[in-house]
Structure 1
Amino acid sequence: MEQYIVPVILGIVEGLTEFIPVSSTGHLILSGELLNFTGAKAATFEVFIQLGAILAVVVLYRERFRRFFTFENIMSGFKMKQHELNWMHIAVAILPALILGYLVHDIIKEYLFSAETVLIGLLIGGIVMIVAERIPILTFSTDLDKINFRQCLVIGLAQCLSLWPGFSRSGATISGGLLAGMDHKTAAEFSFIIAVPVMIAATGYDLLKSWSLITPDFMVTLLIGFVVSFVVAVLAIVGFLKLLQRVKLTPFAVYRFILAVGYYLIILR
């Protein structure tokens, strides 16, 4: 029974936390420690179920992704058109993290995947979110098709912070979007969209390196986590967008502080 309960729990954790600014990687690491699900297979499982969350974005924003492959949109990217979201916006926003992630991938995996480093990421990331929300910056992009390349670069650089486990990719990119002049909804939706190529690249690279661990028995565990992650992520994205427009980022930052301090005092101390 445990072989089914653990992937269901972790699938729920991944689906709930992947696209809200609380760090899915951090929650999976902390949850894995509590469930005694650690090691190489656990790491491979945590990577694989992210694909379920990715699929949720593709399904919810399927019309937007379809437009990326139209002739007009492709040509808009080559012509460097600032408005009407195209593949060039995505490229500018994801290249910094992809390049840096490739360069420091092994260092991150070896030294930063621990409960202690996750708690640090939760705290610092929460502070960054509050600061980004408090700085008075003129909001001039209230729609995905009004984003410019400078804003994409700011978000791309901010996304590099999320390479530290616990910092949160969505927390970093939404904060970067606010600092670049986007409203909360636009920053969040752009964060969801650029997550797809970034996470496909990251998960694909990790899975290629650990492919030998994926046995037929283990595949059942992976598929359970994948399906649960997908279903929960669809619900989480829809709910998060509604909640974000009402409460903004600060409550999520406070949650991060409570989680970090509580986990340290109860589990690690």
Structure 2
Amino acid sequence: MDSIITAIIQGIVEGLTEFLPVSSTGHLILSGKLLGFTGEKADTFEIIIQLGAILAVAVIYYRRILALFGLASSKESSAPATSHKLNLIHIILACLPAMVLGLVLHSVIKNYLFSPYTVLIGLVVGGVFMLYGQKRQATVQAEGIDELSYKQAFLIGLFQCLALWPGFSRSGATIAGGLLIGASYRAATNFSFLVAIPMMIAASGYELLKSYKLLTADDAMFFLTGFVVAFVVALLAVLTFLKLLERFKLAPFAYYRFVLAAVFFIYLISS
């Protein structure tokens, strides 16, 4: 029963934070420490529940994903005739920088950056970057996702590299970065979520290939519980976040990160 409760809690944490600009990796590391749930099994569990969160976003954006492969028309079709309507090249350009850098620095990141203290640094610095992106937002050149240029897609991909530091937040880096290079909140957010799908599949798949032997039949219910909880919570979280961002922008999420970092810093130095 304790393990199922842990699976539910971690599934909720993953679902709530994976696509919000607050860092799911950071939250899972911190919550895992609180629950005493660490080690190889915990790492494998995180991969499984991330796949649940990915599935949630794929369900929400299924029409857009099909459109990328020419299998359906997208609901959003306001792109000017002179623009490059969103296609696979945009996605590839946005994914390449972080994928390449992530492979090159994988061992360094896993060995030196996955600790509570480095996560706290990422939370604070990422929050500052989000506030900067909101304050210094460039003149909007891409109101909708179909108006993003190849150059903007690549630049967002470069900003995504900042999220290789656990705690920085992939969505926070890409949305704030998108604002700095002329994307609207709506365009930056939708593009961030779409790019998350191949990025997370690649990262989770890579890690799963290395740790699949840790999966056993005895843990099936534990992993399944976390997967389902993460899927349901992520589905609700993404739909809610899209509405909240239009109203509150990035600042409340940045301030939340500062408060969380302060609380856990006090906890860590006192424990």
TM-score, normalising length from structure 2?
0.94
Q: In the alignment, is the contact (CA less than 8 A) between 2:141 and 2:183 conserved in 1?
A: yes
Deviation, structure 1 residue 68: 1.1
Partner amino acid, structure 1, of 2:225: I
Q: Distance in 2 between matches of 1:30 and 1:107?
A: 20
| Match in the other structure for 2:78 | none
Query: What SS does the corresponding residue of 1:266 show, helix, strand or coil?
Result: helix
Equivalent residue number for residue 220 of structure 1: 221
Cα deviation code 1:37-95 (max 9, x no counterpart):
0001101111111001100111011110111111799xxxxxxx952110000000000
> Contact 2:137–2:182 (CA<8 Å) still a contact in 1?
no
- CA–CA separation in structure 1 for the residues paired with 2:200 and 2:100: 13
Q: CA-atom RMSD, angstroms?
A: 1.4
Post-superposition CA distance 1:194-247 (Å, at most 9, x none): 000000000000000011101111222111111000000010001001000101
Q: One-letter code of the match for 2:48?
A: F
* Residue matched to 1:174: 175
- Which residues in structure 2 correspond to 1:194-209 (within 5 Å)? 194-209=195-210
Question: Is the 1:21–1:170 contact (alpha carbons within 8 Å) kept by the matching residues of 2?
Answer: yes
Change (3 A) 1:166 1:42: same
Residue 33 in structure 1 maps to residue 33 in structure 2: yes
Residue of structure 1 equivalent to 2:128: 127
- 2:189 corresponds to which residue? 188
Q: Which amino acid aligns with 1:64?
A: R
Q: What's the counterpart of residue 261 of structure 2?
A: 260
Q: Write out the 4+ residue segments of structure 1 that deviate beyond 6 Å after TM superposition.
A: none
Map of 1:103 onto structure 2: 104
Unmatched tracts of structure 2, length 5 or more: 74-81
The AA in structure 2 aligned to 1:49 is I
Q: What CA deviation, in whole Å up to 9, does each residue of 1:130-169 have, x standing for no partner?
A: 0111114101211111110111111100000000000000
Count of matched residue positions in the alignment of Structure 1 and Structure 2? 262
Q: Give, in whole Å, the separation in 2 of the partners of 1:22 and 1:198.
A: 17
Distance 1:196 1:153 in 2: 16
Q: Contact 2:137–2:179 (CA<8 Å) still a contact in 1?
A: no
Residues 63, 72 of structure 2: 8 Å contact kept: no
Q: Distance in 1 between matches of 2:4 and 2:163?
A: 30
